Homo-oligomer: A and B are copies of this chain.
Amino acid sequence: MRAVEDLPTPAVLVDLDVLEKNVARMAERARTTGVKLRPHAKTHKIPEVGRLQIAFGAAGMSLAKVGEAEVFADANFHDLFLAYPTIGGDRARRLLALADRVKLAVGADSVEGARSLSEVFAAARRKLTVMLKIDCGYHRVGVEPSNAVEVARAIADLPGLELGGIFTHAGQAYAAENAAGVAEVGRHEGETVAAVAAELRAAGLPVGEVSVGSTPTAFSAMRVPGVTECRPGNYVYHDGSQVALGTCGPKDCAMTVAARVVSVPAADRAVVDAGSKTLSSDVLRPRPNGHGLVLGTSSRLDRLSEEHGVVAVAPGDRFRVGQRISILPNHACVVSNLHDRIYGVRAGSVECEWRVAARGRVD
């Protein structure tokens, strides 16, 4: 078996022991709260990792774009939800083909958007399951809870569509001050959709799933009565931002980036062969602090060019040209999207090489 130190650099590694522990732990928490787990595949974009999640009890996968769903359908996943406002006749025609192969649901947050799906499905005398997106305070997409009944009814009345439930995403958790703040956001997330679900049902509208989703808020949101489904993504790998948010500890991070020092131009500066092309420019959350921790040291990458990671060498740390280092990235999901393959490692050996099959599927 190939040793990790024989890999070219930079290389994205996933520690398989940590991955399996992360997958098992989230599955267990979903089971104990009686909530369906539908992990968001955006973090890994790899069918093999998705299969591990299904094997541990996930009900299906969440994705964002139609192109990603096509990849996972090709890989024999049977139950997919596009947790994204999916609009447009061209997309609707691709969804029609997908709906022949898998149990499919898509997000919507406007009547205009839903109408573009309705036209295609109604013409084909088919029904597409639509989930209404609720804004629980992130203020990105989604309808305000006070408008939910009106929009849900209008969507449910469109031919070719059926309302499958509601979903939300509390992305504001990534700006929370600390773990207590994150938990509070999660409770609010769950309570918001539970209340909207009750209102919709009181108005005679069908609400199957009541779905929440994000790794930091998963545990607190799943505990709210009325929540039926959770869609965390990042937990499979975790990353520097999850550590900073208090969602996990450094030992729970499965993804690291192996890199090499290519230059040590000054005592306080070392440059490695992993830049934004490898790590992305995503900042650390909740507070920006460099572009990745050099594991086993006190040093961080403090600026990136596309191919250069500039390490601010902390007092006591030393780097030499040719040295291999291991970086904890700020944001695992975007690292996955930059690479064609990642390596599954265990005890210093490369156990498998996975193609990031759904990488770059933007449409």
Chain A contact residues, CB within 8 Å of chain B = 8-11, 42, 64-65, 84-88, 90-91, 109-110, 112-113, 116, 135, 139-144, 171, 260, 262-266, 269, 271, 273-274, 276-278, 280-283, 305-308, 310, 320-322, 333-334, 337-340, 360, 362-363
Contact = CB atoms under 8 A, between A and B. Distances in A.
Given A11-B363, A42-B307, 17 more contacts: A8-B91, A10-B362, A65-B273, A85-B262, A85-B271, A86-B262, A109-B263, A110-B321, A113-B321, A135-B265, A139-B266, A140-B310, A142-B265, A171-B305, A276-B280, A277-B362, A306-B334
Contacts of A273: 65, 362-363
Identical chains bound together, number: 2
A171 B85 CA distance: 40
A269 B321 contact: no
Nearest to A11: B363
Contact of A112 (B10, B135, B321, B362): B321
A362 B341 CA distance: 11
Nearest to A112: B321
Contact of A280 (B139, B140, B278, B281): B281
Nearest to A169: B305
Nearest to A42: B306
A203 B135 CA distance: 69
Contact of A360 (B84, B91, B264, B338): B338
Nearest to A174: B305
6 residue pairs, one from A and one from B, having the closest CB atoms: A8-B363, A112-B321, A141-B263, A281-B281, A85-B262, A64-B307
B116 A322 contact: yes
A214 B300 CA distance: 27
Contacts of A64: 306-307
A218 to B, nearest CB: 18
B87 A262 contact: yes
B333 A85 contact: no
Contacts of A10: 362-363
14 contacts: A42-B306, A88-B260, A110-B263, A112-B320, A112-B321, A112-B322, A113-B262, A116-B322, A141-B262, A142-B263, A144-B265, A273-B362, A278-B362, A338-B362
Contacts of A363: 8-11, 273
Quick one: which of A266, A274, A333, A362 has the most chain B CB within 10 A? A362
Contacts of A305: 140, 171
A263 B144 CA distance: 13
A135 B265 CA distance: 9
Nearest to A90: B8
A70 to B, nearest CB: 12
A7 to B, nearest CB: 9
Given A338-B337, A362-B10, A363-B8, A307 B139 contact: no
